[in-house]
Structure 1
Amino acid sequence: MAKEHDAILWGSAGDDLEGSDYSRLDERYGPLTIRRAYQRPDDGIPKSWKASNAGSDVGKRASCWSGKPDMGDVASGSLDERILGFLRSIPKSHVAFVTIWHEPDAKLKNETFSLSTYKDGFRRFCRLVKQVQGEGRPHLYTVQIVTTWAGTNPSKGRTYADMWPGDDLVDCYGADGYSHVGSKKSLWGPAVEFARSKGIPWCVPEIGYGDKGSQDVSWMNDQIDYMTSTPAGGKHTRCAFACWFDTAGPISVPTPGDERAWIKAAKKASRDYHFDYTRFAL
C-alpha cells in the first residue's frame, strides 16, 4: 500500500464553482480525490468554509481553495478576525490547501495590486493559517499558486523569488501550467527547482491544453509521467496533487473536456494512482 508521502491526489476544476457538476466529472475520469475551487473577488472572505465554494467537498474529497479578498485590507490586518473565523470553520479532519489571489504574477502585470501589497497581504494570510494550524489542524496547508509562465519567462518584479512571502510560511508550491507553454521539465522545471530550493513539495492546481499549439494526447501522458516521478523538496516523493482545468479559460480549452482520448488518459491516471485522501499528508 502506498504511503501518504508517496501519494498524488488527482482532481479537477469544473464549470460550476460550487461543484454541482463534480459527480459527473468523477464518473467520467475519476476517482477524483481533490477539487480546485475559488471565490470571485466580490465574494471576499466567506463567512464559513461551509458557505464557501469548497464547502461541498467535505466528506467527499480534499480541497484546493483560493479567495480574492481586497489585498490592501488583508495587508492592513482589518480582515484578520474574518479570516481566522473562516479558517477555524474548516473541519479538522478535512484536507485543505488554501491561498489567496492565485497567479499573482498575472495580477501584478495588470496592476490589480502592487508587489509590496501582495507580499504583505499574502504573508499575513499565511501567518494566520499557521496560527490555526497550531490549534490542531494537521490537514490544513498553505499553498502559493503561480503560473509556469512566470518561471519560463521571468520578468522583473514578477519572478518566483520576487513573489515569495518568506520562508516557513508556504507548505506547498503550486504552478498552473498549459500545453502552449511547454512540456515536462521545460514547463514545470523552474517551479520544481524553486520549491526544492525552499524545501517544500510542489503541486499543480491547474493543468490543461492551451488554445494554441498541439493537442495530442501524448502531452497529457507526458505530464502525468513527469508529475508522478518528480519530487521537489520536503518528504513528498512526487507532485502532491494535480487538477485538470476542465472549464473554458481565456488561454485554454476544457481538459479533458469531451475528447475521448483525453478522458481515457485522465481516467487511467486517477485509477493507477488512486489514494485515500483522508490518509494524505505532505
Structure 2
Amino acid sequence: MHAARTHVRKLVTTAVAVALAAVLLTPTGASAAGPPDVAPDEGMLFGAFVAKRSEPTVEAAYAGFEQKIDRRLDLQRTYSLWDDTMPPPVVQAGLAEGRTPVLSIEPRLRDGSRLSWASVARGDHDARIRSQAAGIRSLGVPVFLTFHHEPDYAPAHGTGADFRAAWRHYVETFRAQGVTNVVWTWIVTPTVFIKTTSGPTAAEFYPGDDVVDWLGLDAYNWFGCASHVPAAWRPMAEIAGPFREFGRARGKPLMLAEWGSSEDPANPTRKATWMRESMQTLASWPEIKAVVYFQQHGTCPWWVDSSATSMSGFKDAATVPAAHGVPSAWLQPSTVHGPAPLAVRFDASRSAGSLSTTGTGVASWRFEPGDGSAARTGTGTPPSDLTHTYTTAGTRTARLTVTDARGLTSVDTVGVSAVALPTLSTSAKAITTTSSDLTAWVNPNGLAGSTRFEWGTTTAYGASTTTAVPAVTWAATVVGRATGLTPSTTYQVRVTATTDAGSTVRTTSFSTAGRPTTAKSWASGTTRTTTTLGANVNTRHAASTVWFEHGTTSALGKKTTAVTMAAVGYDMSTTAAVSGLAPATTHYYRVVAQNAHGTTYGPVQTFRTTS
C-alpha cells in the first residue's frame, strides 16, 4: 500500500544545509543569491519519468519501477501545461516519496491552444506566471524547472529570439516574486548541436548564463523507430557529445532530462548493452550531474522492460556507483496498515551510500519506530529484519537515517497505521409490511471486513444475513435485507461489524408497516362539561386518520373530528378537546386509527365529569 508511505531524503552536510536554508528563506521581492546547490560533488542524481500504464495510480507506477530496478529514484520528471494546477499533485506526491521534481511547463492550454513566446515576453500572461511562481515557491524545496522543454521542436510558438525573450521574462518574473528554490534547467534536443544541419542552433535558443543554472538534453537512440528519426544505431557519446561540449564551455552542470533506446529486432541483447555502455560513458563525463530515463511510449516505445535483457541492462546501469551521487535510505515495511497490535518487519538493507551500489556504502544507521520506543542503531548495511510491534491504535512515522563515509545523510520515513475497532451506526430503512432494509454505516478503518445483521421479534433474533465491507477509511453504507416479516410487528435488530481489529455491536428495533397500533389513551383536564382525550398512536409507516369515539354508554355514539398523522414507525401522541358533556356523569371513550392496511380500535375506557 504505497499510498500510505511517505519518504523524505536529505542530501546533507552542515555547509549545504545552511546554504539551502539561506536560499529558501529569501524574502519576497529579494533577489536570489544563486540557485540551490543540488549537484553532487561526484557521480550523478538518477531519476525517471514513469508512465502509469496499468497501475492504479502514478505513485504505484513509480514504486513498482523502483522495485524493478532495485533502487530509489532521486528525481521525478513531470510535464505540465500552462493552466494546470501549480504545483501539480503528482509533484507533491513525488516529494512525499523523497524525489526532487524535474518539472517542465509548456505554454499550451488544456484546450490545445498555444501561447506564443512573444506574448509571454510582452507580459500578457504575467498573472498566470505569478500564480505558477507562488505554487513552486510554496513547495519550499529545490525544483528543477524548465520553461518549454525542446523549444527547437516547437516553431509554432515563435522564433529563437522570441523564445529567449520569453525565457528571460519568465525567470525574471519568478525572481521578482522571491522564488529562490528553482534550478533553471534549459532542455533541448541533440539537433541544435549538429553543425551539419540547416536547422536552428543551440545559440539561437540559449537565453543566457544569467538565467540558466543547468543544461538539459533529451537524448534517444532512435534506430529508425519512426519515419522522421535517425535510422542509425548511435552510442551515447555520439548522441550527447556535442551537448557536453556546449555545456562545458559554459561551466554548467548537465542533465539528461530524457533518454532511451529502441530495440534491435535482429539483436535481442543490443539494447541492454547500449544501456550499460551509455552509463559507462555518462559516468566518465564529470559534467553530467543527473540522468532521467523516459519510461513511456512516446514517439517510440522506450520501455526499459521491453525485454528481459533490456530490463537487466537498465538495472545494471541504474545501480552502478556513479548513479548514486547521493546516499539513499530505503525503508520497506512488510505492511503499513493493520489491526493493533500490529507487527511490522522493516527491510532497510537496500539503502545505499553515495558512489555505492544498492545495499552497500552505508557507514551508520538509525531506526526510530515512531511510537516512543527506543531507537535502534548500527554500523554498516542496515538489517533486513527490523521488526517492531505497534501495540495501540494510531498512525506513527517510522524513520530510517543512513550516513555514508563521506558524511552525507539520507532519511526515509514510512507512515504506519495500527487500526482500532470499526465504528458503526445503524437504522432500519424502506420498511414495508413484510420487509425492511437494515442499514449500517461502517468505518472499518481501512481493513476489509463484514457486517452481520440479525433480527427477530425477541432478542433471541433467529434470522440473519452477512454483507462484505470494503477496505475504506470512511463510513461505508452497508445494507442487509430482512424479508418474510409480519405486518404491524416490532422487531429487534443486532448489527455486528467485524474486521481483523475486532468487532463492534449495535442494537436497535423497528416496526413493520401495517394497521396502526395504539399503546395508551387518557382523559385530562376534565371539568363539568369538557375534557381533553389523548392517545399514543404508531401509524406503522402509513399515513393514518385518527379520531376518538365517546358517549355515556359503552355503545359510544359520538366522535371527534378526525386528524391525519404522518407515516412513522414509532408512537406519536394526539389529542382532541370534547365539550358539551353532561356533568357528574361517567363517559366512555376510545381512540380509532385507520390507514391503508386497516383500522385499529383502542380499548374502551372511562372518565367522569365533575358536578
| Range of TM-score over shorter length | 0.7 to 0.9
Higher helix share: 1
User: What are the residue-to-residue correspondences of 1:162-241 with 2, within 5 Å?
Assistant: 162-180=204-222, 182-210=234-262, 215-232=270-287, 239-241=288-290
Higher strand share: 2
Percent identity reads 22
Contact 1:37 1:54 in 2 (8 A): yes
User: What are the residue-to-residue correspondences of 1:76-87 with 2, within 5 Å?
Assistant: 76-87=122-133
Structure 2, unmatched stretches of 5+, are 1-10, 14-39, 108-114, 223-229, 330-407, 410-611
Contact 1:256 1:263 in 2 (8 A): yes
Structure 1, unmatched stretches of 5+, are 233-238
User: What does residue 500 of structure 2 align with?
Assistant: none
1:9 aligns with 2:51: no
What's the secondary structure of 2:51's corresponding residue? Answer: coil
CA distance in 1, matches of 2:327, 2:283: 16
CA distance in 2, matches of 1:135, 1:177: 30
TM-score (norm 2): 0.40
**CA-CA distance at 1:170 after TM superposition:** 0.7
Report the more deviating stretch, 72-81 or 11-20: 11-20
Contact 1:202 1:231 in 2 (8 A): no
CA RMSD after TM alignment:
3.0
**CA-CA distance at 1:2 after TM superposition:** 11
CA distance in 2, matches of 1:54, 1:225: 30
1:56 aligns with 2:93: yes
CA distance in 2, matches of 1:277, 1:77: 42
User: What does residue 97 of structure 1 align with?
Assistant: 144
CA separation of 1:152 and 1:83: change in aligned 2, threshold 3 A: same
Contact 1:177 1:207 in 2 (8 A): yes
Contact 2:161 2:204 in 1 (8 A): no
CA separation of 1:87 and 1:27: change in aligned 2, threshold 3 A: farther
1:19 aligns with 2:19: no
Contact 2:216 2:255 in 1 (8 A): yes
Give CA-to-partner distance per residue, 1:148-206, whole Å, 9 cap, x none.
Answer: 13223654561111111122111111111111353232111111111111121110011
Contact 1:92 1:136 in 2 (8 A): no
What's the secondary structure of 1:268's corresponding residue? Answer: helix
CA distance in 2, matches of 1:277, 1:121: 37
After the TM superposition, list the runs of 4 or more consecutive aligned residues in structure 1 that deviate by more than 6 angstroms.
211-214, 277-280
**CA-CA distance at 1:114 after TM superposition:** 2.4
CA separation of 1:248 and 1:6: change in aligned 2, threshold 3 A: same
Match of 2:162 among 113, 117, 120: 117
Contact 1:175 1:191 in 2 (8 A): yes
Contact 1:115 1:157 in 2 (8 A): no
CA separation of 1:80 and 1:156: change in aligned 2, threshold 3 A: farther
Q: Is the radius of gyration larger for structure 1 or structure 2?
A: 2
Q: Which has the higher contact order (CA 8 A, sep 6+)?
A: 1
TM-score (norm 1): 0.81
Contact 1:224 1:269 in 2 (8 A): yes
